[in-house]
Chains A and B, each alone.
Chain A
């Protein structure tokens, strides 16, 4: 048991350490501008889109599949949202519902081909990557759809009123501590060894401090950005789905050994299709945030976003071989990628260097992972 806990915690620790190093480095390099409330607010708003994509993608990767179509799909769904908003003046709620439903349908479409028709996901979603982009360009005639209504801007551009933000974060902190307590109690009840109390509560305390600190920083600028609240909500939801539901359990099992899972009577095909459906909905949410932030639907929107999402998952410890990965890790991965983007932009590092650095970081992260696993 020690070994398994050690590896996952080592990974978490490595990610936090990497994050720490990045923050320290850019803070010095930018004379503290990197950690200014304004920039931190910007940075985590930038994280939101890749983060939401990564939440969906991590389920796909855990089930040992891949989705290359999310960039194009995000562009298409963002375009759809913009068209509904700009051309047809749909009310915001209806736009949101229709876009998410469209995301679900596109995801299920991918999933149906993968799960029931047994076409490798790499091919299915590569086809989607091309086709979805094609549909988008066809729908919009290659032109930008703008300007979006002010109500749609709420999704990506607004901030939560201060009182609300404080209450939400306080509740979250309370919930976190209560959860640690409840889990320890349950473990004692079943005679499962607990980690030392000091250690677990120290971890919870650190998390509380980080959340509170973040709240303080954000409040000293304009408050919690709405996209971050949306992402936070989705993190909680997705973590719950992954860890505490039979659906999540089955996704991990499928990624770990699909044959054994099928032999256990699990409806493997349906589960897989639902994974892609869930991913489609996450793409729709990201698309709404994107269109709202840009204030427009652009035919080039979301280009190559699938690679950022995959990189975030992999940096966050997900294995492309399946069965391994976590929502929180994927978010950390997204945050690391966004910090690098943001920091390097502030330092006026040319774009080509940014791409090279990001590529190398991805390679390095996976190499470290392979190394540590081998030495086990």
Chain B
């Protein structure tokens, strides 16, 4: 029998007495892919931090054997030297440097005084070909899309003679085409004998890619099973410990008159030749959930930024809200008019990490609690915070806990609470469930239906097509800044949306 490449035995890791990992054991051979599934906070990341040496040898119980030897890593450098490379959700490339410089960062070829540019260039071309990336080595990383950057990271890992590649939620911000490319490359690496640990919430990918699936729940190792005969529902029920009847809890709701009428929305970066949003017009009805689909770069997010007044270039649009014409010049005017937005990038635009959960929730509406001379009525504020934390089931030990300590799903719920406190007529959700575990997703969907039943209108931008179809009443598809198609959700398939989002010709159904 072939000796396993990686053998983690009974890993236990505690944080101030609380067990984050409770005896997890995994084994993996070269050329195999193991997927680890679990809700956020289940211990997946902790396990990977143990494996990659972020938590040094001695700070956990249990043993890790790599190629038969006990690993005693004291930092990431040690595990990288062994051939274990982790690619994080947040990309770790230097945006201002070129692809070549990034790939060789810290491993530059040549002497201290003179770099061997020719050799590095040759190797970079080779590596880029291996990850099927058709770009020049001198391209600055900031000009690349998220998907391409991910591939550059993989190329960087390949350059280090990687034997075990750990991908932590690699596809959470990629479009379908980019995901396909990435999955193909992982399959190629598999052929080349590289082992891979794959962490993802996207179960289709997990099933398509892996040999083994390990499920972790609350730090416990639930099971590791071969992927054959495993279904999405099996994994989900292992993850949540209960059966979910359905992924998308669609509920019937009344759709009323048009509340928002946007016509001729155009947005352009200063000095750019191509408009990011190009003459888009659409309507939104009361109590409607309007899905907006399209590839990244199709202008979906930029369109939403125009509606919320935070687009950073030049934009104009004729916006009519409840029959009244509206000029949105800033986030403040949008909020005052009754438009709130949950931004795409939760960490950058959503939360103030070190502030408490409660204070994050009330940040938009401090005026409501302000009496004379700017004094806050903290009694009233706490009441509202308590109310929304309970209503949205934000799981937090206390409203004063820094929001950075919450899981992604609970942070997202807190941001939604912040928007709801402004009592919006229109709620824009940009990728509301990205990087969020199944349980929290389900709760957010439930909440969306509860809100539209109360008469709110929702615009939801999403890269997950199943979500777009499963939740929306109507779907807009964008392509290169233009509105390419509008569909009713009945009878809509993912293929129809993809065809519309990719192909050049206009399809209007």
Q: A residues near B, CB below 8 A?
A: 1, 3-4, 186, 189-193, 240-241, 244-247, 249-250, 252-253, 256-257, 259-267, 323-324
A3 vs B356: C-alpha distance when bound (angstroms): 12
Task: List which B292-346 residues lie within 8 A (CB) of chain A.
Answer: 308, 310, 331-332, 334-336, 341, 343
Most buried by B among A1, A189, A192: A1
Supposing A253-B355, A262-B310, A265-B331 touch, asked if A245 and B364 sit within 8 A by C-beta, the answer is no
Supposing A244-B376, A256-B355, A262-B331 touch, asked if A192 and B350 sit within 8 A by C-beta, the answer is no
Q: Report chain B residues within 8 Å CB of A250.
A: 363, 366
Among candidates B352, B373, B398, B405, residue contacting A261 with C-beta atoms closer than 8 Å: B352
A260 vs B375: C-alpha distance when bound (angstroms): 23
Q: Are A252 and B355 in contact (CB under 8 A)?
A: yes
B361 CB, nearest partner CB in chain A, Å: 10
Q: Are B359 and A249 in contact (CB under 8 A)?
A: yes
A261 vs B348: C-alpha distance when bound (angstroms): 10
A376 vs B353: C-alpha distance when bound (angstroms): 15
A193 vs B352: C-alpha distance when bound (angstroms): 23
A122 CB, nearest partner CB in chain B, Å: 20
Total count of chain B residues near the partner, CB < 8 A: 43
Q: Are A323 and B378 in contact (CB under 8 A)?
A: no
Q: Show 25 A/B contacts (Cβ-Cβ < 8 Å), sorted by A.
A: A1-B398, A1-B400, A4-B402, A186-B378, A192-B398, A192-B399, A192-B400, A241-B374, A245-B373, A245-B376, A246-B366, A246-B367, A246-B374, A249-B359, A250-B366, A253-B355, A253-B359, A256-B352, A256-B355, A259-B349, A260-B349, A260-B363, A263-B331, A266-B364, A324-B354
A1 vs B348: C-alpha distance when bound (angstroms): 23
Supposing A245-B374, A250-B366, A263-B350 touch, asked if A190 and B386 sit within 8 A by C-beta, the answer is yes
Q: Report chain A residues within 8 Å CB of B310.
A: 262-263
Most buried by B among A246, A249, A324: A246
Q: Report chain B residues within 8 Å CB of A266.
A: 363-364, 366
Smallest CB-CB separation from A192: which chain B residue? B398
Supposing A1-B398, A186-B379, A193-B398 touch, asked if A265 and B352 sit within 8 A by C-beta, the answer is no
Q: Mark B393-417, 1 if CB is under 8 A from A, else 0.
A: 0000111111001000000000000
B383 within 8 A of A: yes
Chain A interface, >50% SS class: helix
Supposing A1-B397, A263-B341 touch, asked if A190 and B382 sit within 8 A by C-beta, the answer is yes
Q: Are B363 and A323 in contact (CB under 8 A)?
A: no
B268 within 8 A of A: no
Smallest CB-CB separation from A258: which chain B residue? B352
Q: Are B352 and A260 in contact (CB under 8 A)?
A: yes
Smallest CB-CB separation from B397: which chain A residue? A1
Chain B interface, >50% SS class: helix
A3 vs B400: C-alpha distance when bound (angstroms): 11
Most buried by B among A256, A260, A264: A264
B282 within 8 A of A: no
Supposing A261-B363, A263-B331, A263-B349 touch, asked if A4 and B376 sit within 8 A by C-beta, the answer is no
Supposing A249-B366, A259-B349 touch, asked if A267 and B400 sit within 8 A by C-beta, the answer is no
Q: Are B401 and A253 in contact (CB under 8 A)?
A: no
B370 within 8 A of A: yes
A326 CB, nearest partner CB in chain B, Å: 13
Smallest CB-CB separation from B385: which chain A residue? A190
Q: Are A191 and B332 in contact (CB under 8 A)?
A: no
B181 CB, nearest partner CB in chain A, Å: 30
A4 vs B358: C-alpha distance when bound (angstroms): 14
A22 vs B386: C-alpha distance when bound (angstroms): 44
Among candidates A1, A189, A257, residue contacting B351 with C-beta atoms closer than 8 Å: A257
Q: Report chain A residues within 8 Å CB of B348.
A: 257, 259-260
Q: Are B332 and A267 in contact (CB under 8 A)?
A: yes
A192 vs B364: C-alpha distance when bound (angstroms): 23
Q: Report chain B residues within 8 Å CB of A191.
A: 386
Task: List which B12-31 residues lie within 8 A (CB) of chain A.
Answer: none
Q: Report chain B residues within 8 Å CB of A324.
A: 354
B484 within 8 A of A: no
A261 vs B379: C-alpha distance when bound (angstroms): 23
Q: Are B351 and A260 in contact (CB under 8 A)?
A: yes
A267 vs B366: C-alpha distance when bound (angstroms): 12
Supposing A192-B399, A246-B370, A257-B352 touch, asked if A265 and B386 sit within 8 A by C-beta, the answer is no
Given contacts A1-B397, A257-B351, 5 further A-B contacts (CB under 8 A): A4-B400, A191-B386, A260-B349, A260-B350, A263-B308
A324 vs B402: C-alpha distance when bound (angstroms): 12
A3 vs B355: C-alpha distance when bound (angstroms): 13
Supposing A1-B397, A260-B348 touch, asked if A246 and B376 sit within 8 A by C-beta, the answer is yes
Among candidates B363, B378, B401, B405, residue contacting A244 with C-beta atoms closer than 8 Å: B378
Most buried by B among A191, A240, A245, A257: A257
Among candidates B355, B364, B375, residue contacting A323 with C-beta atoms closer than 8 Å: B355
A274 CB, nearest partner CB in chain B, Å: 10
A257 vs B359: C-alpha distance when bound (angstroms): 13
A193 CB, nearest partner CB in chain B, Å: 6
Q: Are B335 and A265 in contact (CB under 8 A)?
A: yes
Q: Report chain A residues within 8 Å CB of B285.
A: none
Instruction: Please list the 6 inter-chain residue pairs (A to B) with the smallest Cβ-Cβ separation, ordered nearest first.
Output: A246-B366, A256-B352, A245-B374, A1-B398, A265-B335, A264-B364
Smallest CB-CB separation from B342: which chain A residue? A263
B482 within 8 A of A: no
B305 CB, nearest partner CB in chain A, Å: 10
Q: Report chain B residues within 8 Å CB of A263.
A: 308, 310, 331, 341, 343, 349-350
Q: Report chain B residues within 8 Å CB of A265.
A: 331-332, 334-336, 364, 422
A190 vs B385: C-alpha distance when bound (angstroms): 10
B418 within 8 A of A: yes
Smallest CB-CB separation from B401: which chain A residue? A1
Q: Report chain A residues within 8 Å CB of B369.
A: 246
Most buried by A among B332, B352, B422: B352
Q: Report chain B residues within 8 Å CB of A190.
A: 382-383, 386, 399
B268 CB, nearest partner CB in chain A, Å: 21
A278 CB, nearest partner CB in chain B, Å: 12
A290 CB, nearest partner CB in chain B, Å: 29
Q: Are B418 and A264 in contact (CB under 8 A)?
A: yes
Most buried by B among A245, A257, A259, A265: A265
Q: Report chain A residues within 8 Å CB of B378.
A: 186, 244
